[in-house]
Structure 1
């Protein structure tokens, strides 16, 4: 396992991050602990959660993932682990979160304290805005619509609240998620002008079916010194090939309507092409997809998630595989045929 500096922070994170959003819905506390133990034993030092998890979001389960991780974390050497969590953004109907989630100073403080309690820790290493407080296209939406603007908290006020939490020792660094180039620049410039903490990372979707990060955000994050934490590297499991030829008992089947960006036209054709390429090079489709993401110069860490130990083991084994120039050329040829079918 390799370790990389996250943005301009002092955090050295493993090239694989353990995602946990199945904990509390598809995985029990015992299963969660086994996954965490196995990942740490194989070099992972970075664990990503969110106050909204598990998924799909429900009032009855909200916060359960942090609770499961907290039960495990309370028995670990805290200083050897890097824990990231996220504050829920507005505009998606999750009214059970703080009576309607916003990224206001008051809600930032409340959300942080609640996460600390569930995680059973005194501090959070990376505290992320799950999606922006302002109106932006997210989670498969591809067009910005100025007609859907909403009231928003000025970014300098958001950063001011995070600065207070850093001063209090409750969080160490701030990150973004599901952000745009405009948003990254606004955050970094506001921090410089007001002498407030700079964001150090961005957690956005990136995989063989969605490489939109490459134009706009890759340059922006490079120049502004943000590291990418790539989520959904397997495209909600589609890139494993398990949905080819019929429904698999995965999330896409179990929770209809969830992960709609991977139900778009040309996704099946693109998946079939990548799966066939993996077969030709005697590689599992999972390994091909994960090794590709890990190989990109702008990716600091790849977030994996699993519901079974077999899946977790296969995901972690992918770190042993490197992409050569010939294989990357073949991937690019498929991408040219099927460019970003799941943005």
Structure 2
């Protein structure tokens, strides 16, 4: 397994990160522990979770994923072997701290609750799950309008949040900080505030990146390069749609589509998905492994966050780290992207 530095932190993380959002809904605690054990055997040292998980998000299962990880840490005694990333939820879910936006007070409350569930004294990477302000993630790019919001208090809130994170770093509860579902402006503003006020510098950004959603290729890629910010790509398989299993209206039992929405499937994305699946099959490749291996070719990619509901999926996903795509396949991917550059 190859490793990369997490920004400028000196923390070394595997190129494959084990995502955990299915644990507690689609996967049992026994499944979760088996996945961690297998991933570590294959050289993965990086786990990503959030106070929101499991998914689909609902009050009855909120925080369960962190509890599963915490129980594994307690029984295995292997805290030193894993880099754990978690997140504070942004505004909007009433059952999580009243749905309040992120601020200094909420950082402290959310972090302490996550530490308790994780049964650990510290979190290696603590991330802001999504901004308080408007953003284009979660399928919002077509309707994104930053002008439908006020400017007042935005920078002040960002500074307050960074100051709260700084206090938690100094208290030894956090090693590094990051953001998720951020924009180029948001990333640069956090970096400016950190520089001017001697506060923690962002190590990473966790945004969606896959064959269907390549927003990061543009401005954010430039920011990541010049500012040495690690991209942790979530949904590298587009929530499973790039496997082809949802084509022609299929919704296999037990899949994410069976328990929640498959919002990346539409009349616009289906032709692109079909083309990628056909390309993979024409070259004797598994469509999921091809999609993951492609993400790993990107120079701005630090780690790709995988998720699996079965051990067979997990084995295949981790195996993608050993796959080298031919020039012909890479050219085929770019030709499809040129034909379907932006899908919903």
Q: CA deviation at 1:225?
A: 1.3
CA RMSD of aligned residues (A): 1.4
Aligned to 1:341: 343
C-alpha separation between the residues in 2 aligned to 1:149 and 1:42? 48
Structure 1 residues without counterparts, runs of 5 or longer? none
Task: Name segments (4+ residues, structure 1) moved above 6 Å.
Answer: none
Aligned to 2:215: 212
Aligned to 1:253: 257
* 8 Å contact from structure 1 (residues 199, 226) kept in 2: yes
C-alpha separation between the residues in 2 aligned to 1:255 and 1:38? 25
Of 73-82 and 151-160, the range deviating more from structure 2: 151-160
Aligned to 1:175: 178
Alignment deviations for residues 48-107 of structure 1 (CA, whole Å, 9 cap, x no partner) = 0000000111111110110011100122321221000000001x3x11111223211111
Aligned to 2:30: 30
Aligned to 2:306: 304
C-alpha separation between the residues in 1 aligned to 2:274 and 2:99? 41
Equivalent residues in 2 for 1:1-343 (5 A)? 1-74=1-74, 75-90=76-91, 92=92, 94-142=93-141, 143-149=144-150, 152=154, 154-245=157-248, 246-256=250-260, 258-260=261-263, 262-342=264-344
Alignment deviations for residues 143-198 of structure 1 (CA, whole Å, 9 cap, x no partner) = 12422449655211111000100000000000010000000000001000001110
* 8 Å contact from structure 2 (residues 133, 149) kept in 1: no
C-alpha separation between the residues in 2 aligned to 1:41 and 1:149? 49
Counting matched residue pairs gives 338
Structure 2 residues without counterparts, runs of 5 or longer? none
C-alpha separation between the residues in 1 aligned to 2:79 and 2:342? 39
* 8 Å contact from structure 1 (residues 270, 334) kept in 2: yes
Question: Helix, strand or coil for the counterpart of 1:154?
Answer: helix
C-alpha separation between the residues in 2 aligned to 1:57 and 1:124? 22
Question: Helix, strand or coil for the counterpart of 2:98?
Answer: coil
* 8 Å contact from structure 1 (residues 127, 171) kept in 2: yes
Question: Helix, strand or coil for the counterpart of 1:263?
Answer: coil
Alignment deviations for residues 265-306 of structure 1 (CA, whole Å, 9 cap, x no partner) = 321100110011001111010111010011111100000000
